[in-house]
């Protein structure tokens, strides 16, 4: 059975392309691959096409080109947090924690309801041992998107493994299940916590 801590980064990595959902950039033709920052993005249509092209680079694991494309888009359109978020994810994957933290913070500044960026901030804070900030980031992600299963699960793991708060962990794990994260492993964790700590919780549908 995978250890809870081993799942945290994997959960976040599952959101690699989720940054695109934070911006309505889904239409327009796919542009040729970009290998250097573009000097400007004069229109929303150009931004949409550039964003889609950058996602294609990301999906095909051409990460250096994808990073250059997202950086160009973020510089030309700093209010579009989706580009910033995916740029952050690339930096986090490269284990450049300081740069990733800075970039995710910028993405949240651009869009305080960017649940993907907030969830990643929680992961990075947890990795650095700043559990209070990790909890705050996960809870902000869930305030912005209550049915965000990854943030629910990450919050549960934080409470379970790192903060030793079994009651809150069970609530968060149940929130993960209610958000559509059906997982036999997590169900086993819930039963284990209930058996070990006598923790019984009412059906809540949300993290504490």
CB atoms < 10 A from the CB of 29, how many?
A: 9
Span 129-158, mean pLDDT?
96
Tell me the C-alpha distance between 171 and 145, whole Å: 17
- Enter the tokens of residue 107: 């993405």
Provide the whole-model pTM: 0.67
The residue assigned the tokens 């907030």 is 118
Helix (H, G, I), strand (E, B) or coil at 200: coil
What are the tens digits of pLDDT across the range 83-141? 777 877 887 777 778 878 888 888 888 889 999 999 999 999 999 999 999 999 999 99
What are the tens digits of pLDDT across the range 56-92? 887 888 878 887 887 887 777 776 677 777 877 887 7
What are the tens digits of pLDDT across the range 160-186? 999 999 999 999 999 999 998 877 899
């Amino acid at each position: 059975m995978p250890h809870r801590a081993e799942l945290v980064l994997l959960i976040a990595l599952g959101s690699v392309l989720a940054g695109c959902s934070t911006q309505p950039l889904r239409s327009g033709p796919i542009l040729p691959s970009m290998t250097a920052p573009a000097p400007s993005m004069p229109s929303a249509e150009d931004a949409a096409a550039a964003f889609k092209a950058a996602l294609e680079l990301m999906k095909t694991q051409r990460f250096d080109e994808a990073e250059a494309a997202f950086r160009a888009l973020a510089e030309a359109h700093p209010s579009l947090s989706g580009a910033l978020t995916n740029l952050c994810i690339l930096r986090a994957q490269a284990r450049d924690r300081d740069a990733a933290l800075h970039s995710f913070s910028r993405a949240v500044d651009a869009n305080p309801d960017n649940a993907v960026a907030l969830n990643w901030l929680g992961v990075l804070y947890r990795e650095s041992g700043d559990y209070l900030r990790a909890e705050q980031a996960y809870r902000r992600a869930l305030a912005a998107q209550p049915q965000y299963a990854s943030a629910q699960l990450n919050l549960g793991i934080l409470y379970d493994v790192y903060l030793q708060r079994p009651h809150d962990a069970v609530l968060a794990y149940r929130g993960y299940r209610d958000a559509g994260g059906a997982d036999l492993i997590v169900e086993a964790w819930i039963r284990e916590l209930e058996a070990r700590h006598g923790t019984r919780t009412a059906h809540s549908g949300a993290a504490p």
